[in-house]
Structures are given as structure tokens and as C-alpha cells.
Chain A
């Protein structure tokens, strides 16, 4: 009887302990997020003002200074990547959702998933060989291409998932009216999945806005502002990296401040995406 009781008490203790550890693990994971976001705010607070966003960098030793070029550069790169990546991603997603039942669909789906896992640094080297070498110069264009390649599979897979959620009755009703399939897809399925398609594009943007590694070998960075798509261009993540590994305290502070802005950008996009998708499911 006592041994029975001992066994039972040991089991109960183990259970409480493991449940507690799982809770603790969650607490740790969430704390890391809050710590990172909190630090960027606290450490960068000295530079978090309007000047930081509207001014260009000052020479070392002079007060103030901002990251206007870098913000513009990131916007240009993201826009360029979106223009190149989103339409192709949408069409690929449409193919997977509407015609992807066969073996081609299976292969493309697997390739898209695998592409999502290709390290961004590898994509950067690929675009260096593909675009930078032939052009003979680092450029905004090559940076945009690299980011487009990274966002392409994300957009394709999300679009596919979202278009599949459009009920079959919509499609059948449209086809019963005798309109061609492509009209049905473009005028019934795509609008029905509009929120999803926007979501997919935003997820893609969130994924690339903070990318740094591929830009090192493509966009390179540029201290003198935007000079055309054929020229090197600045970007916030690149500048954060260069400031971070520098030896100067004010640059470190600027890296924190820029990080805060970047994190806020990505978080706002992610929260919006979450809001859009949760509305859809309710």
C-alpha cells in the first residue's frame, strides 16, 4: 500500500514538474521576444525622433544624423521585389490552387517549400553571379531580384492556401453560368481570396524587409542616397549591421534605433496579417 502510494506521488510530482517546465519554456520564448523589442527601444531611444527619420547620416563626431537614405533604400528595394515577385507568386499560387492536382502540382509545391528553406545568403550569391557579375556593378536592381526570389515561394504558397478556402459552390455557380474557367478564377476565386492574397503579399514583404545577407553582395549600400536602379543602394538592415560592428557608441545607438523602426515595421505587418486572417475565419 505504501509503495502504491509512493508510485502515485512520484507520478503526480513528475506530471506537475513537466507541465511546469513546458510553461517555463513558453515563458522563456516569449521573454526573448519582449527582451529584444524592449532593448531596441531603450537603447535607441536617444535617436528615436523625427530627425532620425528625415536626416541623412552626419560625419562621426557631429551630433544628430539620421537614416533617411536607408529608409528610402529599403522602401525602393521592397517595392522592386514586390513588383517582380508578387505577380509571379500570385500566378504560381493560382496554378497550384486551381490546376495543381496532378504530379506537376506536387513537384512545384515541394520545390516552393524547399525554396523557402534555401538560406538567403545563398540566394544573394546566386544573384551576384546571375546579375551583378554580368552588369559589372552592385545595384538596386540586383538587390530587388534577390529579395524577389526570397519572397516568391512565400507568396505562392500563401496564395494557394487562401484561394483554396474559396468555397466550391462559388466556382460551380460561376461555371454553371457558362463563363470560361479563367474568367471564373480571375473574377470569382481571386476576389473571394483577396484578403488571403493581400495577406500572402504582406507576409512576403515582412519576410524580406529585414533581410541583410543577400543585400551585402547585391545592393551593397550607398552613403549618398538613391542614384538609380543601376547603382548601389542603401538599406536599413545593411546599415544596422555596419553600425553594429563598428567601434563607436553613437553608431551603436543608431543601430538600436534603426532596429526598433525595422522591428516595428515587421510587427505591424505581422499583426495586420493576423488580424486580416482571424477576421476571415470567424
Chain B
């Protein structure tokens, strides 16, 4: 159904300054001397799910970690290029990554709830950072986030239990709730289902489809079926000769999976390598 409501529109490559969504221009990233990404440029549309696919080591994770300035957390890592979030370059001098991450939430490969905190406190963690104190507001916000993450019904009676006591799939939805609680504009998901079983995976996929009503979503996946199921747009990355990731093709998911423009994309999605 997702596919049907898709408009037949090419991604904008030269957006105006006030455009919502994310415009990536000539993005390069390194780990020490090793280049992990080269000259990636694309436009991520608001309120759409964009999937990033490619073989292991092609820089998928590095790419989305550049979108909320998490890449630079790794010692020795650096970035060059522009990432415009609603027209504003997040790598411009004087921009504090703390404020960027507040607007661009992230969910990681393995569920990583804070084990010393309760379910409630896990979701409230981001709100507390931003100085929200009033108990009433806090519990409203936590409930809203848990409902958005489709977890409220399962945990509403165990909000005081430790977050690490939940099942793996529940933990991952808790992490999604934690990211949503601060009401970001963009949600980045780095292979969010790689540690989960098929049932838990399908619940997360349903969730992703529902969440694009409110959020711009970028999801990294090594699973092409998953990309086809949940995303509107797909970016295909491949490593070049020096193992730095390059953007090979970017377009509507349906078009890319039925009629790829680049033969390397076709080779990858038909399973000839990867």
C-alpha cells in the first residue's frame, strides 16, 4: 500500500534553502587515514522512508551516522562536505552536534536500553536532558512516545521494571520510543532488526510505515526485502577500489527494484553479489 501512494517524482537535487528534509552535498568521511565515504550527494525527502542498502562495509552505517554527527564520536573520524537539515548546514562552524542530535534521533543495530534505568526512565532520559521537570508533562510525554512506538499496551503495567528485562523486540521498540520522546524531526535507524527474530522484525517494519506520517525516516538495512517493504526511496552504496563507499544509485524504491538504471544495482538486488 505504501508503494501505491507514491508520487512519480524525481528527487530534487538542487533544493531551495528553506526545503524541509535533508540535503547531502559531496559528503566524504574517514576513519583515521581510511576513507569510508566518497562524494555522496542526495536529497532525503520529508515524511518519507528512505532506505540505504549495499553490501557489508560499503559505508551504509557511516553514512547515516554522518546525518546526526555521530560519526565524529569515533576517535580519529572526520567528515567533509555539507549536510543541510531544513536548509541549515549541520557541519557549519559553530553548530553544536548536541543541538543536531536533539533534532535527528537514532536507533542502533542492537537494542541498547540503559540497564540501570526503568522502562519509564529510559523513555524520559532525553526529556530530562532538556530540562523537562514537571511530573505530569513527563508522564504524558512518555506515554505518547511509548504509544507511537506501539509498546504502551505491553509495558504500561511494568513501567518501573528495568528496561533490560524486556524481550529483544520490545527493547528495540523501547529504544525507538526513547528516540521519539524528544520529538525529533528525523529518525535514523541503523539496521534496527538485525538482532531480532522475524516476528519482532515485522512489528518494527509496521511501526516504520506508521511513523513516516510524523517523521522523516532513514533506515539502513542489509535486507533488500525489508527495503522493498518499508521504504519509498532507496539509496544503493557500493565500495570503490579503495574501499570507500560511493553512491551508485538513488531513486524510488519501486523503480529501483523493478528497473534499476545501473547494472551494479541490478547485480546486487538480483543477488549476484553481496
Interface residues of A (CB under 8 A from B): 4, 7-8, 11-12
Contacts and interface: CB of A to CB of B under 8 A. Distances in A.
Nearest to B129: A11
A16 to B, nearest CB: 11
A8 B99 CA distance: 9
B130 A7 contact: yes
Contacts of A8: 98-99
Nearest to B99: A8
B6 interface: no
Contacts of A11: 98, 129, 131
B96 interface: yes
The 8 nearest A-B residue pairs measured at CB:
A7-B131, A7-B130, A12-B96, A8-B99, A12-B98, A11-B129, A11-B98, A8-B98
Contacts of B98: 8, 11-12
8 contacts: A4-B130, A7-B130, A7-B131, A8-B99, A11-B98, A11-B129, A11-B131, A12-B96
A4 B131 CA distance: 8
B50 to A, nearest CB: 29
A12 B129 CA distance: 11
Contacts of A7: 130-131
A15 to B, nearest CB: 8
Most buried by B among A4, A8, A11, A12: A8
A25 B130 CA distance: 28
A12 B130 CA distance: 11
Interface in B190-221: none
Given A8-B98, A11-B98, A11-B131, 7 more contacts: A4-B130, A7-B130, A7-B131, A8-B99, A11-B129, A12-B96, A12-B98
A212 to B, nearest CB: 42
B255 to A, nearest CB: 42
B182 to A, nearest CB: 12
A184 B96 CA distance: 59
Contacts of B99: 8
B159 to A, nearest CB: 25
Interface in B83-141: 96, 98-99, 129-131
B11 to A, nearest CB: 33
A12 B99 CA distance: 10
A142 to B, nearest CB: 50
A4 B132 CA distance: 10
A81 B76 CA distance: 47
A7 B133 CA distance: 12
Contacts of A4: 130
A229 B76 CA distance: 58
A4 B183 CA distance: 15
A272 to B, nearest CB: 29
B97 to A, nearest CB: 11
A137 B131 CA distance: 71
A108 B130 CA distance: 50
Contacts of B131: 7, 11
B96, B129, B130, B131 — most chain A CB neighbours (10 Å): B131
Nearest to A15: B98
A106 to B, nearest CB: 26
A117 B8 CA distance: 73
A4 B102 CA distance: 12
B158 to A, nearest CB: 31
Contacts of B96: 12
Contacts of A12: 96, 98
Nearest to B130: A7
A5 to B, nearest CB: 10
A53 B124 CA distance: 67
Interface in B126-178: 129-131
A7 B98 CA distance: 13
Contacts of B130: 4, 7
A189 B96 CA distance: 53
A11 B96 CA distance: 12
Nearest to A7: B131
